[in-house]
Amino acid sequence: MPEAIRAEKLFKSFGDQQVLAGIDLSVEVGETVVVLGASGSGKSTLLRCMNFLELPTGGRIYLHGNLVGTPLGNQADAKMKYAEPNLQRVRAKVGMVFQHFNLFPHMSVLHNIMEGQVTVLRRSRAQAESRARELLAKVGLADKADSYPANLSGGQQQRTAIARALAMDPEVMLFDEVTSALDPELVGEVLRVMRALREEGMTMIIVTHELGFAYHAADRIVFMDAGRVYEEGHPHDILIAPKRERTRQFLEGHNQFRLPEAGPLVASEQT
């Protein structure tokens, strides 16, 4: 499959604190990549740099093989110059869903999903509305079109946020810990929407702590440590048989308090 988005030797510092230390990550069209790592390892910053909510301090980003920005010089590591209108076009094509939803509280669910279509893509209101309703049905919120975000559960808000991002017909979707702020019983409804997207062939980069979801939904897992890709591979290889020390430590922390395996009822049904 062709490449959808690629980060090349990506660096990002805030002041003298380096968060990304030369990340290389390439994602194919239709691929689902899950990014794991301890907090502070740079996962969120990586996503925010890939749609330029933060400007990388070094390195390159390619969208469908096209370099974003203009290099200031001919060397391979020349600094990049980014023009805001150019970045706006990139952001419109790279959808993002946030941990805290960031829905617009002064707009109804329907208008949240129409907003970008109308102001950025210049779709007519009728067109935007029919697309919004289509997406609301898809995320299971057809009856909530006229509600305001404050009157929705966390899971419903997050599904609205996913619909809002999808309304832009993005080429890549970025998910930044989208279930971390949800009650456990609401996590499933959001993950199901994401799995459905994967089945439709959406290109996705997902930062999450849901290891079970990562195991079942990812084509590839990238484990980050100290602003670098530390280990990557097939979900089974990374989650069940990690090769490197930090990855093992990280998973051990997660595995210490696991539920016991499913009870005999399920087991007997299988035999």
Q: Candidates 30-38, 65-73, 86-94, 130-138 — which segment interacts with another protein by CB under 8 A?
A: 86-94
Binder to another protein among 106, 259, 260, 265 (CB under 8 A)? Answer: 106
Task: With H, G, I as helix, E, B as strand and everything else as coil, classify residue 22.
Answer: strand
Binder to another protein among 9, 57, 91, 133 (CB under 8 A)? Answer: 91
Residue type, 188: G
Instruction: Please state, as a whole number, how many other Cβ atoms lie within 10 Å of the Cβ of residue 145.
Output: 18
Q: Candidates 2-10, 36-44, 111-119, 216-224 — which segment interacts with another protein by CB under 8 A?
A: 111-119
Restricting to residues 201-260, name those near another protein by CB under 8 A.
none
53 lies in the binding site for another protein (CB under 8 A): yes
103 lies in the binding site for another protein (CB under 8 A): yes
User: Tokens 């062939």 sit at which residue?
Assistant: 201
Binder to another protein among 3, 71, 100, 251 (CB under 8 A)? Answer: 100
89 lies in the binding site for another protein (CB under 8 A): yes
Binder to another protein among 6, 25, 68, 98 (CB under 8 A)? Answer: 98
Question: Partners of 222 in the beta sheet?
Answer: 35, 232
Reported as half-sphere exposure (CB side, CA atoms, 13 A), residue 172 has a value of: 24
Distances (CA, A) of 262 to 217, 219, 240, 266: 20, 25, 18, 7
Distances (CA, A) of 172 to 27, 201, 245, 257: 9, 10, 31, 34
CB of 248 to another protein, least distance (A): 34
104 lies in the binding site for another protein (CB under 8 A): yes
Task: With H, G, I as helix, E, B as strand and everything else as coil, classify residue 77.
Answer: coil
What span, in angstroms and rounded, lies between the C-alpha atoms of 238 and 221?
7
What span, in angstroms and rounded, lies between the C-alpha atoms of 67 and 59?
11
Restricting to residues 153-182, name those near another protein by CB under 8 A.
161, 164-165, 168
CB of 113 to another protein, least distance (A): 10
82 lies in the binding site for another protein (CB under 8 A): no
CB of 50 to another protein, least distance (A): 11
CB of 104 to another protein, least distance (A): 6
User: Tokens 């090769």 sit at which residue?
Assistant: 243
Supply angle C-alpha 253, 257, 262, rounded to 5. 130
**Applying CB under 8 A, which residues contact another protein?**
51, 53, 84-85, 88-93, 95-96, 98, 100-106, 115-116, 119-120, 148, 150, 161, 164-165, 168
